[in-house]
Chains A and B, each alone.
Chain A
Amino acid sequence: MKILITILFICVPAFAQQIGNPTTQQGVIPARGTFAIRNARIVTVSGADIENGTVVIRDGKIEAVGTNVNVPAGAQSIDGRGLSVYPGMIDAGTNMGLVEVPQGANGTVDTSEVGELNPNAKAITAVNPHSAHIGVTRVEGITNTLTAPTGGLISGQAALINLLGTAPKEMAVVPQFALVINYPRIGFGGGGFGGFVQAPPNLADTLTANERQVEQIRKMLRDAEAYGRAQEAYEKDKTLPRPDHNVVLEPLVPYVRGERPVIFRADREAEIRGAIKFADEMKLKAIILGGNDAWRVASLLKEKNVPVILTGIFSLPSREDDNYDVLYENAAKLQQAGVRFAISTGDAGPEVRNLAQYAGMAAAYGLSKTDAVKAVTLYPAQIMNVADRLGSIEPGKMANLVVTDGDLLEIRTHIRYLFIDGRPVVLSSRHTELNDAFKNRK
């Protein structure tokens, strides 16, 4: 059966499998074409599941979906009997491509700029298309990540990327999707993945320090508003004094005008409330990234329509007296409260491939299985305003598809085919290559 399917699917270009040549995975990008996945179970996510359906892919897009669709002449056919087709998974909280080896290879780390305020740092600039993490992640059915910088108070701008391409430009779906702000944490230093400093001994000092940090962010955003107004005024009336350009303030303008979202990293209740209040005051379009305490703030999140990208499903509860399943249940509680959410690994890179298990665990603790799949497909696409292109199987959407031999979220399920941007991706990675090289060593 397996062999049969493999034989039927002969369009995949052959790849060299040798070790030590990083271009083997990335050097050749498979061509788009016309494909038909036939007689498969199609989990459209946006609508009902289709048993024995066909998905037609042409020129990078999903052309048709259904039980009775025309397969264009010349389409390469994939026998989908016994298989399921899902939209590719999306992890909306990673540093994918910005760091190869976090410890001991500082030269491979491009996550945090020097200083506190770096709105002009753009993740898309530093994404390494040839990172081994990208291949390792996509062969598990993750086709897209939000890749975010992490440092300081204003970390920079996150990019939504396809996990395929030889240049950042080829990977970018939304190159500058959101501004990332580490909402200042009381008693905690730094931000992002792992910063930790003991609380200063005096609460008043701590609170003052916290307020000072918030004020730093506020001032920069106000400056950007003023900058935007000044530039606009000058464009309308060239007799005015010409304002200098400023590379740091310039990129902030669409964010302070609410045209693009601002991601606040915030896990604890105080920080989530602080971020919501701050976004309200500054009229920002807020998204919470982290959200461990989001269940405690659910009614406010709902009221303000602030979505949450949950990264802590597999974190330990932060309080000793928390229920043991408090973070497993977080997603289900947000769902019940009507808060928009998505599930993410929150990982720098290596763990992102396990995204399905994060969603599965949420389903073990109260989230419906359907919502768990949505939490890693359609919901992140909606939160990132790309639901017209990603997150479900509908005609016209980008053909980011995963074909499996079972439930997408189950661990034992295998991925059989993968399409990104309508391109059939070989299911090899640095890890399959090393496996092939050593599995038969005698």
Chain B
Amino acid sequence: MKKFLLISVVLLLGTAAYAQSNETLIKNATVLTVTRGTLTNTDVLLKNGKIAAVGKNLSASPNALIIDATGKFVMPGIIDCHSHSMLDTINEGTLAVTSMVRTQDVINPTDVDLYRELAGGVTTLNLLHGSANPIGGLNTVVKIKYGRPASEFLFPGAMPGIKFALGENVKRSSTPNTPGVQRRYPNTRMGVEETIRDAFVRARDYKRTWDEYRAASAKDKNLMPPRRDLQLEPLVEILEGRRYVHAHCYIASEILMLINLADEFGFKIKTFQHVLEGYKVAKEIAAHGAGASIFADSWGYKIEAYDAIPYNAAIMTRAGVVVSMNSDSDERARRLNIEAAKAMHWGDLTEDQALKLITLNPAIQLGIQERVGSIEVGKDADVAIWNAHPFSVYARVDTTLIDGTIFFDRQQDLARRPELAKERLTLEQADPNKPPARGAQSPNTPRRRPTGHTDDEIDQQEDRP
């Protein structure tokens, strides 16, 4: 990808290291612990990447970084259970079953939107494959360690997952027919079920082949192993409960379809993603034990979103479903605090219930609840410091830390601006960066950035035939 010299240099500067210490004491804050209520005039001690203590009048060693958070609010880093940030591509859309592809292979740690998300108090992302296929690719759970190499983003111990998708996107309802080209199967919600059923029937046989081989090879070391099938292996992991299914869906009937299918094959859906009509079948979702990861109030952007209502979070929460609010958008990810607060506006969830929507609940949905999602001693030091209650529309993030390290700090961001402006000017006046004269190549146009529902954006499904 072509990049201006200017952009590259500014990006490098953008990752300039903050003053760091392996010990940070946040003093005198209002602490939204999520699991232990709201504590006023409280200190939080972060040490060696973990939350070491939460209490009043804590002391720290002399070399600790002290942050005076008087009048400020500390909350756990926000977890976005549906993101496509830092993915160079989203959909392998040529086949209906693409469980062999991995988002982990296309993560770009220099995506500037990561920094913008840090500035919204977000620390963890569930990077999902797009929704072009009934069975999509494998997910990647990352911490937003912007400025570090890709390998350091990976969240150790997060449960492996996979994207499924149902409904209009996999039916390709908005893709026109091309004369002479046969449409990809499936074309209906009936076909979607059969596509997934076929894959799991094959996976079940494949698993049996391996189970039989392992049993037999215990007696006979000379047996040839079966041929590995990279498409079916992840599905076997699902059958064995070792991989979470995150299923994009909209309408009630397709949600029930997948629940029934999963029950038939004996596996669980970990999360229904978007699940706009989840409120219509909340008890069935709860009975299956699935979670729901939703938009706060997006609706009406296509037919299957026409019955979406902003009371979805409240109705499902009250039915016993573990609910999270996600972004599915680099833009919306910057204000998930507002999205969570909407569950208090529509449906009157309590503040703690609403806070969980973007902290502990998504952590549960990703199998990382022992590590993140609340402010408790022993958990990872992933926290954001806000200048006001994060559910206030007027709130702003001052500092975001991951594993005790500052990855965003507003004051330092502001302090660097004059220097960056100066450097930008110097670079703009440098010969190679002068605007081209008429007849030359056109300047780079700004890259189209998804602002709505990335999953659904056809132009993002760039691997489509």
Contact with A along B158-187 (1 / 0, CB 8 A): 000000000010000110000000000000
Contacts of B11 in A (CB 8 A): 320-321
The answer to whether B174 touches A321, judged by C-beta atoms less than 8 angstroms apart, is: no
Residue of B298, B303, B391, B442 near A201 (CB, 8 A) is: B442
The answer to whether B443 touches A102, judged by C-beta atoms less than 8 angstroms apart, is: no
Highest count of chain A CB atoms <10 Å: which of B113, B330, B342, B446: B446
* B194 on interface, CB distance cutoff 8 Å: no
Contacts of B173 in A (CB 8 A): 104
Contacts of B280 in A (CB 8 A): 438, 441
The answer to whether A102 touches B301, judged by C-beta atoms less than 8 angstroms apart, is: yes
Interface residues on B, range: 35 or more
The answer to whether B300 touches A132, judged by C-beta atoms less than 8 angstroms apart, is: yes
Known A316-B116, A439-B315, A441-B280: A412·B341 in contact at CB below 8 Å = yes
* B379 on interface, CB distance cutoff 8 Å: no
Contact with B along A2-17 (1 / 0, CB 8 A): 0000000000000000
Contact with B along A197-213 (1 / 0, CB 8 A): 01111111011000000
* B436 on interface, CB distance cutoff 8 Å: yes
* CB of B391 to closest CB in A, whole Å: 6
Which of A55-63, A110-118, A362-370 is the contact stretch? A362-370
* A277 on interface, CB distance cutoff 8 Å: no
* A324 on interface, CB distance cutoff 8 Å: yes
Nearest 4 CB-CB pairings of A with B: A360-B393, A103-B302, A350-B300, A321-B10
The answer to whether A360 touches B394, judged by C-beta atoms less than 8 angstroms apart, is: yes
Residue of A323, A350, A412 near B299 (CB, 8 A) is: A350
Which of B148-156, B224-232, B305-313 is the contact stretch? B305-313
A residues neighboring B (CB under 8 Å): 100-105, 132-133, 136, 187-188, 196, 198-204, 206-207, 314-321, 323-325, 349-351, 353-354, 356-357, 360-361, 363-365, 369, 409-414, 431, 434-435, 438-439, 441-442
Known A203-B438, A412-B345: A318·B116 in contact at CB below 8 Å = no
* B413 on interface, CB distance cutoff 8 Å: yes
The answer to whether B306 touches A202, judged by C-beta atoms less than 8 angstroms apart, is: no
* B36 on interface, CB distance cutoff 8 Å: no
* CB of B176 to closest CB in A, whole Å: 12
Contacts of A414 in B (CB 8 A): 345
* CB of A416 to closest CB in B, whole Å: 13
Contacts of A431 in B (CB 8 A): 299, 309-311, 346
The answer to whether B443 touches A203, judged by C-beta atoms less than 8 angstroms apart, is: yes
Q: Specify the chain A residue showing the minimal Cβ separation from B281.
A: A441
* B440 on interface, CB distance cutoff 8 Å: yes
* CB of B165 to closest CB in A, whole Å: 16
* B220 on interface, CB distance cutoff 8 Å: no
C-alpha gap A196/B445 in the complex (Å): 11
The answer to whether A101 touches B300, judged by C-beta atoms less than 8 angstroms apart, is: yes
The answer to whether A320 touches B10, judged by C-beta atoms less than 8 angstroms apart, is: yes
C-alpha gap A435/B311 in the complex (Å): 6
C-alpha gap A154/B445 in the complex (Å): 24
Known A350-B301, A412-B341: A442·B438 in contact at CB below 8 Å = no
Contacts of A321 in B (CB 8 A): 6-7, 10-11, 420, 424
Contact with A along B391-426 (1 / 0, CB 8 A): 111111000000000000000010001001000100
Residue of B168, B309, B449 near A316 (CB, 8 A) is: B449
C-alpha gap A104/B168 in the complex (Å): 9
Q: Specify the chain A residue showing the minimal Cβ separation from B168.
A: A104
Contacts of A434 in B (CB 8 A): 279, 307, 309, 311
The answer to whether B306 touches A438, judged by C-beta atoms less than 8 angstroms apart, is: no
The answer to whether B174 touches A104, judged by C-beta atoms less than 8 angstroms apart, is: yes
The answer to whether B311 touches A316, judged by C-beta atoms less than 8 angstroms apart, is: no
Known A350-B298, A435-B311: A202·B6 in contact at CB below 8 Å = no
The answer to whether B393 touches A104, judged by C-beta atoms less than 8 angstroms apart, is: no
The answer to whether A409 touches B393, judged by C-beta atoms less than 8 angstroms apart, is: yes
Contacts of A314 in B (CB 8 A): 331-332, 335, 451
* CB of A260 to closest CB in B, whole Å: 31
Contacts of B417 in A (CB 8 A): 323
* CB of A205 to closest CB in B, whole Å: 9
A-B contact pairs, 20 of them (CB 8 A): A101-B301, A103-B456, A104-B174, A104-B303, A133-B300, A199-B442, A202-B441, A203-B436, A320-B112, A321-B420, A349-B300, A364-B393, A411-B344, A411-B345, A411-B392, A413-B345, A414-B345, A431-B310, A431-B311, A439-B279
Known A324-B413, A361-B393: A316·B113 in contact at CB below 8 Å = yes
The answer to whether B439 touches A441, judged by C-beta atoms less than 8 angstroms apart, is: no
Q: Specify the chain B residue showing the minimal Cβ separation from A206.
A: B442
C-alpha gap A187/B391 in the complex (Å): 40
* B200 on interface, CB distance cutoff 8 Å: no
Known A350-B299, A363-B394, A412-B345: A203·B445 in contact at CB below 8 Å = no
Q: Specify the chain A residue showing the minimal Cβ separation from B116.
A: A324
Contacts of A318 in B (CB 8 A): 446, 449
Q: Specify the chain A residue showing the minimal Cβ separation from B351.
A: A412
C-alpha gap A351/B329 in the complex (Å): 15
Contacts of A325 in B (CB 8 A): 119
* B448 on interface, CB distance cutoff 8 Å: yes
C-alpha gap A415/B203 in the complex (Å): 53
Contacts of B331 in A (CB 8 A): 314-316
* B282 on interface, CB distance cutoff 8 Å: yes
C-alpha gap A390/B113 in the complex (Å): 39
* B288 on interface, CB distance cutoff 8 Å: no
The answer to whether B300 touches A324, judged by C-beta atoms less than 8 angstroms apart, is: no
Contacts of B318 in A (CB 8 A): 439
C-alpha gap A324/B119 in the complex (Å): 8
C-alpha gap A369/B413 in the complex (Å): 24
Q: Specify the chain B residue showing the minimal Cβ separation from A429.
A: B309
C-alpha gap A210/B307 in the complex (Å): 41
C-alpha gap A356/B341 in the complex (Å): 13
The answer to whether B310 touches A101, judged by C-beta atoms less than 8 angstroms apart, is: no
The answer to whether B442 touches A202, judged by C-beta atoms less than 8 angstroms apart, is: yes
Contacts of B302 in A (CB 8 A): 101-105
The answer to whether B342 touches A411, judged by C-beta atoms less than 8 angstroms apart, is: yes
User: In B305-352, which residues have CB < 8 Å from any A CB?
Assistant: 306-307, 309-311, 314-315, 318, 330-332, 335, 338, 341-342, 344-347
The answer to whether A438 touches B279, judged by C-beta atoms less than 8 angstroms apart, is: yes
Known A316-B451, A323-B417, A411-B345: A365·B7 in contact at CB below 8 Å = no
C-alpha gap A188/B424 in the complex (Å): 25
Contacts of A206 in B (CB 8 A): 442
Contacts of A202 in B (CB 8 A): 439, 441-442
C-alpha gap A414/B345 in the complex (Å): 6
* CB of A374 to closest CB in B, whole Å: 16
* B102 on interface, CB distance cutoff 8 Å: no
